[in-house]
A and B are shown apart, each in its own frame.
Chain A
Amino acid sequence: MADRRAFLGLAAALAACTKSTKVPSAVEQSMTPYGERAATETIARAVGESTASLGVGSSRTPLQHLHGVITPSSLHFERHHAGVPKIDPAKHTLLVHGLVEQPIEFSMDDLKRLPAATRVHFVECSGNGRGEFMGTAGATAQDSHGLLSCAEWTGVPLKHVLAQAGLKPEAKWVIAEGADACRMARSIPMEKCLDDALVVYAQNGEALRPGQGYPLRLLLPGFEGNTNVKWLDRLHVTEAPAQSNQETAHYTDLMPDGKARQFTFLQDANSVITRPSGGQKVSGGAGFVEISGIAWSGSGKVKRVEVSMDGGKTWDDAVLEEPVLPKALTRFRIPWVWDGKETVIQSRCTDETGYLQPTRDEIVEARGMAFNYHYHGVKAWVVKADGSVTNV
């Protein structure tokens, strides 16, 4: 409204001095320096922040309302352990030290001089789907799978940053540390650092959002979200992991025998139908409905997505929308002629390694019930006779 008033005011002022300025009668918004969505569009993240410790919590992406595979930056999920720090990019640096020939410090301008790469990758919290597993998934895909987003990231391959300092032969791990209040740190195996890891400063073509680590974060394609350290300002090259809080007390997977798996970085093959999905309604009764959803794998490309419209009795191959990119969300679509009767719809993903997304029961059989991370079971929705869609 303020925009419109300013625009009309400007137009009136211009009109007073020159009669040639015209104002179209249907103008809603003037041209603005930084765009906003239409006022009638309201989809939003679901924010769950601790009331006891502000800054601890997460916000979930409304997957069921999104199209394609890119998450708009304003809707990217967040998980913070001690809030979002305020950082002056002119003063922010990245220090690389430890088992290197020459400790070196980069300003943001320095990093932007290095050869850059732009890639599309998902980021997923390893706690995603936990509610599904515990039987507290909530009503929608946002509730059950919303700690998942996908963006186009731009930055410097981490191998270039490390090469600039010169790795010593005994260098095996890199401890990445952020500038948030708790200085969250994770130890990353060197193999990953020299493979496809990026130090990123841009998200969907512009600077990272503060909640995504502005001005600099680590991006480890296919690895659990927590390792993608935000507000990155230090890389400590070592021969062993630090055994930090976030890689011991948390983000370890307790098995039924009482032993916990540690350094479980990979996000397994996974998928979820987003349309029609929980909370939505197939309006108009029986007839054609396109089923659509997203599939992803931390191991590489999605090779195949199968969809069942009859509670798992039969499965049909969905079409994967090109381009299918490694460690990125892949959109799948499949036509369906609904008979108007209540049924269960579900999807399952196979990735390029041949790994097939298991059911909840198969995961529980292998891993028990005590783990909190890396749940990736087949997700089912009930389509009721009235068209409403709910959790199973």
Chain B
Amino acid sequence: MFRIVLFVMVTAAFGQTKFPGVGKAASAERVKAADKTVMADGRGLPVGKGSVEAGRALYKTKCAECHNEAGEGRDKQWPALVGGTGTLASKAPKKTVGSYWPYATTLWDTIGRAMPYDQPGTLTADEVYSITAFVLHLNGIVAAGQELDEKTLAKVKMPNRDGFVADVRADVKAKR
């Protein structure tokens, strides 16, 4: 009983934590600096903007070496970014940004956190908006001359937006 009372007292003294004294409170600044999450509805996108035309130039220097001039990919090691629309139910489905990805925010997030492969995290927010706009343009999803920013990106409707369903397992019925 004494132990329980002591624990409650200590808990009260250190706030609501379950294990008093372990870990330190993180400031809003600390969280802001670390938080790179981009949600599908656009929350987390940094303020910024970019255009298809600016993206065209950036793509040439930052992306084309691997993903090829028009996003068609190279060999099997560097994935294609365009094409494949209408192939998902076929015998040879081709999954690309245009044919498969359900959210434009995922493209921004992928480029922003992981690209270019050998220099991830080096692009500015505006550069990422521009390259995102250009890759979406290559897929016929946004028009030439269009700009994207933290408010408009999540409103881009991807062709395969409704192409995902929940897990339905156990779905395979084995016969004994």
Residues of chain A having any CB pair with chain B under 8 Å: 50-53, 82, 95-97, 101-106, 110, 113-115, 160, 163-164, 166, 175, 177, 181-185, 234, 236, 238, 240-245, 248-249, 252, 254-266, 268, 348, 353, 355-359, 362-363, 365-367, 369-370
Residue B139 lies at the interface, judged by CB distance under 8 Å to chain A? no
CB distance from A288 to the nearest CB of B (A): 28
Q: A104-B26, A105-B23 are in contact. Are A261 and B37 (CB under 8 A)?
A: no
7 contacts between A and B (CB under 8 A): A105-B25, A163-B18, A240-B40, A249-B100, A258-B93, A260-B164, A367-B172
Q: Tell whether, in the assembled complex, residue B89 and residue A166 are in contact, meaning their CB atoms are under 8 Å apart.
A: no
The CA of A119 and the CA of B113, in the complex, are separated in Å by 33
Q: Report yes or no: B17 in contact with A164, Cβ–Cβ below 8 A.
A: yes
Interface string of B37-54 (1 = CB under 8 A from A): 111110000000000000
Option from A103, A164, A241 in Cβ contact (under 8 Å) with B31? A103
Known: A362-B175, A367-B172. 6 other contacts (CB 8 A): A50-B77, A53-B66, A97-B31, A113-B19, A245-B106, A245-B114
Q: Which residues of B contact A241 (CB under 8 A)?
A: 40
Q: How far is the CA of A355 from the CA of B39 in the complex (A)?
A: 36
Q: Whole-angstrom distance between the alpha carbons of A363 and B175 in the complex?
A: 11
Interface contact A114-B19, CB-CB below 8 Å = yes
Q: Check B174 against A243 for contact (C-beta < 8 Å).
A: no
Q: Chain A residue with minimal CB distance to B97?
A: A249
Task: State the B residues within 8 Å of A (CB).
Answer: 15-19, 22-28, 30-31, 34-41, 66, 75, 77-78, 88-89, 91, 93, 95, 97, 100-103, 105-106, 109-110, 113-114, 117-118, 120-121, 163-176
Q: Give the residues in chain A near B105, CB-CB below 8 Å.
A: 243
Instruction: Please tell me which one of the listed residues A103, A266, A356 contacts residue B176 in the complex, with CB atoms under 8 A apart.
Output: A356
A97→B100 contact, CB < 8 A: no
Q: Given A244-B106, A259-B164, answer yes or no on A105-B172 (Cβ-Cβ < 8 Å).
A: no
- Closest CB of chain A to B18's CB: distance in Å? 5
Q: By the criterion CB–CB under 8 Å, are A242 and B89 in contact?
A: no
- Tell me the bound Cα distance from A238 to B88 in angstroms: 31
**Chain B residues whose CB sits within 8 angstroms of the CB of A104 once the complex forms:** 17, 23-26
Q: Are A362 and B173 in contact (CB under 8 A)?
A: yes
CA distance A103 to B27 in the complex (A): 7
Residues of B within 8 A of A266 (CB): 167, 169
Q: Is the CB of A164 within 8 A of B19?
A: yes
Report yes or no: A262 in contact with B34, Cβ–Cβ below 8 A.
no
A222 to B87, CA, bound (A): 32
Q: How far is the CB of B8 from chain A (nearest CB, A)?
A: 16
Q: Are B172 and A358 in contact (CB under 8 A)?
A: yes
Whether A258 pairs with B26 at a CB distance below 8 angstroms is: no
| Given A164-B23, A262-B164, A242 and B113 contact (CB-CB distance below 8 Å) | no
Q: Which residues of A contact B18 (CB under 8 A)?
A: 160, 163-164
The interface centre, meaning the residue of A114, A265, A363, A366 with most chain B CB atoms within 10 A of its CB, is A366
- Within the complex, the shortest CB–CB distance from A134 to chain B, in Å, comes to 13
Least CB distance from A246 to B in Å reads: 9
Residue of A nearest to B100 (CB): A249
Given known pairs A97-B31, A110-B22, the reply for A265 and B172 (CB within 8 Å) is: no
Q: Which of B19, B25, B91, B170 contacts A102 (CB 8 A)?
A: B25
Q: Which residues of A contact B97 (CB under 8 A)?
A: 249
Rounded to whole Å, the gap between the CB of A69 and the closest CB of chain B is: 24
Which chain B residue lies CB-closest to A298?
B169
> How far is it, in angstroms, between the C-alpha of A106 and the C-alpha of B21 when the chains are bound?
11
Shortest CB-to-CB span from B3 to chain A, Å, is: 15
**Bound Cα distance from A369 to B90, whole angstroms:** 10
The docked-state distance in angstroms from the alpha carbon of A374 to that of B62 is 35
Contact: B167 with A263, CB < 8 Å?
Answer: yes
